[in-house]
């Protein structure tokens, strides 16, 4: 990275109990110019219904903001919201929800140059703080689009503790996957004769270490919610500094992309998909996968592919398709000769 390259960082990260009810006050402490500015709160129907009172209070706190119920997390939806923001002269966008809502709101705010405040209701992956949005384009096709990191991230520990456990396990999986992603990033840099950004590498490693070596394995504790929140935000910052998703996305993500593109009926969350992919990726990279599986098990992540409906045939097909999901992305798969017997053996090891 050129030493003169500029990157954005959030003005604040607040992780506390009932933080959503004080979100405006928290952000205004760092950014007083937001006071009284026209605001749009974006969420989706089931969350608006589930958290009606809380969302209404947030809406009122943000200067009687308009509440926008979004549909699907598509490029067309994001650009339609951006058009509304610009036409209505809205200055602040508040996204309340999981990855679908946050990616849509983040991209809409980026296009319209509005201040974006992120209020996650789950900690399912590191996209909440990343400079990218993953949106559906045509049919089942999804595209990763560059945008801007949030101005503020407010994590309400009560909301996260009330979220489905599977969402938190997904966030853990996405964080653990940095182990193989960073290895692949270095491989790609060596192949291109370039250097990786040392600072981005260090922050992504810190994100991984904070969860991998964490003594607190109770995912329902507020202490762990703070650790995971910061780990996911660090992942986003690493991508922002590197100006690339590479610190957090390698061969394990290609495996997950293959699930999303060819076996979407399996309904495996992104974080669990990359966690499963990281076990095989460890083996491809010549590293011991047993400790990774032990840590996953300690958190409650089932690393048996069959649990998610991935048979041996599907597992083989996923890895054979993985590299093709992102042509040009150099990972360990470029130098790995995959065959059925070896993949069957890896599958059996994951089932143990």
**What stretches in the chain show pLDDT beneath 50?**
1-4
Using CA atoms, how far apart are residues 319 and 288, in angstroms rounded to an integer? 19
Q: How do residues 281-334 score in pLDDT, each as one tens digit?
A: 999 999 999 999 999 999 999 999 999 999 999 999 999 999 999 999 999 999
Per-residue three-class SS string for the chain: CCCCCCCCCCCEEEEECCHHHHHHHHHHHHCHHHCCCCEEEEEEHHHHHHCHHHHHHHHHHCCCCEEEEECCCEHHHHHHHHHHHHHCCCCEEEEEECHHHHHHHHHHHHHHCCEEEEEECCCCCHHHHCCEEEEECCCCCEEEEECCCCCEEEEEHHHHHHCCHHHHHHHHHHHHCHHHHHHHHHHHHHHHCCCCCHHHHHHHHHHHHHHHCCCCCCCCCHHHHHHHHHHHHHHHHHHHHHCCCHHHCCHHHHHHHHHHHHCHHHCCCHHHHHHHHHHHHHHHCCCCCHHHHHHHHHHCCCCCHHHHCCCHHHHHHHHHHHHHHCCCCCCHHHHCCCCHHHHHHHHHHHHC
Answer yes or no: are the C-beta atoms of 92 and 27 closer than 8 Å: no
Burial of residue 294 (CB within 10 Å: 0-12, 13-18, 19+) is exposed
Q: How do residues 89-130 score in pLDDT, each as one tens digit?
A: 999 999 999 999 999 999 999 999 999 999 999 999 998 999
pTM passes above 0.85: yes
Structure confidence at residue 3 (pLDDT): 45
Structure confidence at residue 4 (pLDDT): 43
């Amino acid at each position: 990275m050129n030493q003169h390259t500029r990157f954005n960082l959030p003005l604040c990260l607040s992780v506390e109990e009932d933080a959503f009810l004080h979100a405006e006050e928290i952000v205004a402490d760092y950014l007083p110019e937001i006071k009284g500015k026209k605001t749009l709160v974006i969420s989706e129907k089931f969350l608006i219904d589930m958290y009606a009172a809380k969302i209404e209070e947030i809406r009122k706190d943000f200067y009687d903001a308009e509440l926008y119920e979004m549909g699907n997390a598509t490029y067309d939806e994001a650009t339609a919201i951006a058009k509304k923001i610009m036409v209505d002269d809205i200055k602040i966008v508040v996204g309340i929800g999981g990855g679908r809502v946050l990616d849509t709101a983040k991209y809409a705010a980026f296009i319209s140059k509005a201040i974006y405040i992120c209020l996650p209701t789950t900690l399912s992956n590191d996209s909440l703080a990343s400079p990218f949005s993953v949106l559906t384009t045509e049919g089942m096709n999804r595209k990763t689009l560059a945008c801007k990191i949030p101005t503020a991230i407010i994590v309400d520990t009560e909301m996260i503790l009330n979220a489905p456990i599977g969402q938190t396990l997904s966030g853990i999986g996405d964080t653990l996957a940095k182990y193989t992603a960073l290895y692949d990033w270095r491989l790609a840099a060596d192949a291109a004769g370039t250097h990786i950004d040392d600072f981005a590498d260090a922050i992504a490693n810190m994100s991984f270490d904070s969860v991998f070596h964490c003594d607190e394995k109770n995912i329902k504790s507020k202490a762990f919610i703070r650790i995971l929140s910061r780990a996911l935000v660090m992942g986003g910052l690493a991508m922002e500094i590197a100006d690339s998703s590479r610190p957090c996305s390698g061969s394990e993500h290609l495996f997950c992309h293959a699930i999303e593109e060819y076996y979407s009926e399996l309904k495996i969350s992104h974080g669990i998909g990359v966690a499963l992919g990281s076990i095989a990726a460890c083996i491809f990279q010549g590293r011991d996968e047993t400790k990774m599986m032990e840590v996953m098990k300690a958190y409650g992540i089932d690393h048996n592919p069959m649990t998610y409906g991935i048979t041996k045939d599907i597992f083989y097909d996923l890895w054979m398709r993985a590299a093709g999901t992102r042509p040009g992305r150099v990972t360990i798969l470029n130098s790995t000769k995959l065959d059925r017997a070896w993949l069957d053996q890896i599958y059996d090891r994951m089932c143990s």
